[in-house]
Structure 1
Amino acid sequence: MSFSPARALVFFVIGLPIGFILSALGFTILSRDISAPAIAPWALVIAAIGGIGAGLRKEQA
């Protein structure tokens, strides 16, 4: 199994704003106050999962 750091970084950067949007949506659904310090850890986790998943994904030839 190989890991592609460049692909992981690209997907992490793309996933970061998506993570913020999904976190804010989750906070809204749960009726919690939305603040950047509360959302940031969740957004980072979502982006990290996306980046690691993309970095580990095998390239189709």
Structure 2
Amino acid sequence: MNPHHNIIGLAPGNKSNIGNVTIYSNIMFVLWCIISIFIFFEILLFTAFWNNVSCL
């Protein structure tokens, strides 16, 4: 039994809820990764843009 599910407070016998929470957690994790990579590239492009402007 994953202790993470106990923190959420689900009953250990309720498999469908645990499955839904796991899928939801995976989706949120993937979204978080995509958003983090997007923000990282935004910062890279922004700094590169400002470096080019300051060179001009």
Q: Tell me the TM-score normalised to structure 2 length.
A: 0.45
Q: Which has the larger radius of gyration?
A: 2
Structure that is richer in helix per residue: 2
